[in-house]
Chain A
Amino acid sequence: MSAATRRALAGAAAALALAFAATATAQQSAVQRGDAKFQHSCAPCHAAGVGDDGRAMLPGTDALRIKYKGAVPPVPPLLEERTDLTAPVIKVFVRHGSFSMPPFRPTELTDAEIADIAAYIADKVKRAAAVSKAK
């Protein structure tokens, strides 16, 4: 292998490493952006914690608890614990609403932001699974 080839390969490897790092950073920021957007737009109805007026859960969480009661396999009422919420799935619910949840407009949640939310939920589920496995 000539010195020029070695240099070229080393250069290519460095470029590849940089590309991986850039992908990781982009992925990380999608998760962070998704986290912020989830807390802003979804959490007021779909987070954990108690609801108003003595209710045990927030309205979205409670509605999903009722909807999926007895489902096999079980479906958790918290969106942040769901494994099936890909961007296309979230988009259907966001743009059309479901039961008492009204739809959200593209000025409120863009398609890119919906993808960020999907990335955030997937990441959260993955982390929770890793913690659970470690135990």
Chain B
Amino acid sequence: MAVLPPGVSAETFAAAIKEFEAAVGKEWVFTSDEDLAPYRDHFSYIKNQPNELVPSAAVGPDSTEQVQAIVRAANKHKIPLYAISTGKNFAYGGPSPNVRGSVTVDLKRMNRVLEVNDKRYYAVVEPGVSYIDLYRHIQDHGLKVWVDTPDPGWGSPIGNALDHGIGYTMGFYRDHFGAHYGMEVVLPSGEIMRTGMGALPNSKSWHEYKHGFGPDPAGLFGQGNFGIVTKMGFRLMPQPEHWRTGAVMVPKRQDLIPLVDTVNYLTDLSIIGEPWYGNGVAPLMGNTEFRDAAMGFNETAMDAQAAAAKVHSWQVELQFYGSERTTLSNWEYAKELMARAIPSARFMDGESFKVPLTREQISKSTTPYRSNMRRNITQGVPGLGIWWMPSRSDQNPNAWDETHIGLFSLIGRSGEAIFQAQKDFASVSKKLGMPSAFPNAIQTPVNWYQYAFIMGNGFGLGRGDTSPEGKKAAAAKLREVLAENAKLGYGDYRAPPMLQDDVADQYSYNNHALRRFNETLKDAIDPNGIIMPGRAGVWPAAYRSMRGSLR
């Protein structure tokens, strides 16, 4: 499987490898097929194909100084680098680079928790620290702070934040890049830069004021290719004393509009954590009459059948963090607001637990309604329990999600926007000849980001035709979905390398002014284009001809 970086001779590559070995030690430079196997995307839809995005080598530095030496050697020999933190970005490419033959800079060995402050509520970590590591550090030291974990928890706070990942507690903390405060970066020149107050030598508040003074380039490193981040600070949520949940059920389809409005109000007043939307009519999809109504957006028929079946159209589960008394008071207030907006709303008390929850309380739901809420992540407890999703099941004992791709469109945060998106996604699905009951009129959004909804709009790839041709055809269809969605004003927030050019194409306002701006910066800051060329569709001059070539 030996590959070389594009345009690099075997001699030059060998010279670069020698310099990498001098920088990190021979035992941490990997070039054999066996050692490089885990650097491939295990869920790639082009696995074992000639265009699979495999690295030519991997280098595992243990310090910022070693990262600097690697970057300098790469610059000298014009070797493209691709940095990974814990390399678990599955569904978004895993550890695989954008350019076949890149050298992977594997930051896993930089796994130190540098500081956790439970009085000023922040942590500072290196890239190789996983959410599970950080959680265990906090537990081992008896600190009273929470991590806001994505699921699964084997990823790193730095890697996840840099890919704009999300979590499940209070709004501010759920936006992992937004909750970062201060970073240290090795620039393409090999120089170290610190953002925010970190630019001030001997700063006393690096992780408490993120803007510093003047333009703040921190955003360039999120889904970016302007440097390799070696340290980041994150705000941490204080451990609350109590956690309470409750559900609101509304009977009619149109009730979703005031429901969302009221939830938004509670969210933006920081009264509730992540709201979990759901519906009561999903079981009716087995009924042909209801299914036809839901796929045809026949509201009157849907409402009539929901009423006949005595089920609610929508529900939202709310969660409250605070003291026993304040959470109760906030739940009462939420019910009062809901009743004012939707007189026919019904309410059910959910759980009420002292924090931290016991293992039993975390693992066993006793909610009196059908709950969609996943408890570990609402408590900031990272784990791998979610991995049941792509794995074997009793229903599919010999199948797994061979191709695992996450694609989610951003939509506005209102009931009207949800209705519009449902119709738009269904029309795209129909137009592209994808016969499926999904998307439809009962699809619910997620509120991972506080200020926007996200809705899945793809379709199952993994367990359909898993031949190379079948996967390729499905991926081509996905590209069409992305292009059609963009025409309707929907863009995705994240994508695997193979689809990043397609998602970047969605953001084309004013003849791709944003991309042209980023690439102007890229050429100035990284003239040899060695840092993650092609990431998020930003191609340096040296590799620009590769745009759109990933297929």
Contacts and interface: CB of A to CB of B under 8 A. Distances in A.
Interface of A: 40, 44-45, 49-55, 58-60, 62-63, 66-67, 69, 94-97, 99-100, 102-108
Given A59-B387, A66-B393, A107-B28, A44 B132 contact: yes
Interface string B445-477: 000000000000000000000000000000000
Contacts of B94: 102
A99 B385 CA distance: 16
A58 B58 contact: no
B401 interface: yes
Interface string B61-99: 000000000000000000000000011101000110000
Contacts of A100: 387, 390-392, 400-401
Contact of B39 (A58, A99, A105): A105
A99 B37 contact: no
Chain A binding surface SS class: loop
Nearest to B151: A52
B387 A105 contact: no
Contact of A62 (B88, B365, B374, B391): B391
Given A66-B392, A95-B34, 19 more contacts: A40-B132, A44-B153, A44-B383, A45-B387, A50-B363, A52-B376, A52-B385, A53-B386, A58-B385, A59-B391, A60-B391, A66-B394, A95-B38, A96-B37, A99-B392, A105-B108, A107-B28, A107-B108, A108-B108
B154 interface: yes
Interface centre among A54, A58, A67, A106 (most CB of B within 10 A): A106
A54 B365 CA distance: 8
A67 B35 CA distance: 27
Interface centre among A53, A60, A99 (most CB of B within 10 A): A53
B392 A97 contact: no
Contact of A99 (B58, B386, B400): B400
B475 to A, nearest CB: 19
B388 A59 contact: yes
Interface string B192-234: 0000000000000000000000000000000000000000000
Contacts of B88: 102
A86 B153 CA distance: 28
Interface in B21-55: 28, 30, 34-35, 37-40, 42-43
Given A44-B132, A102-B42, A102-B90, A95 B37 contact: yes
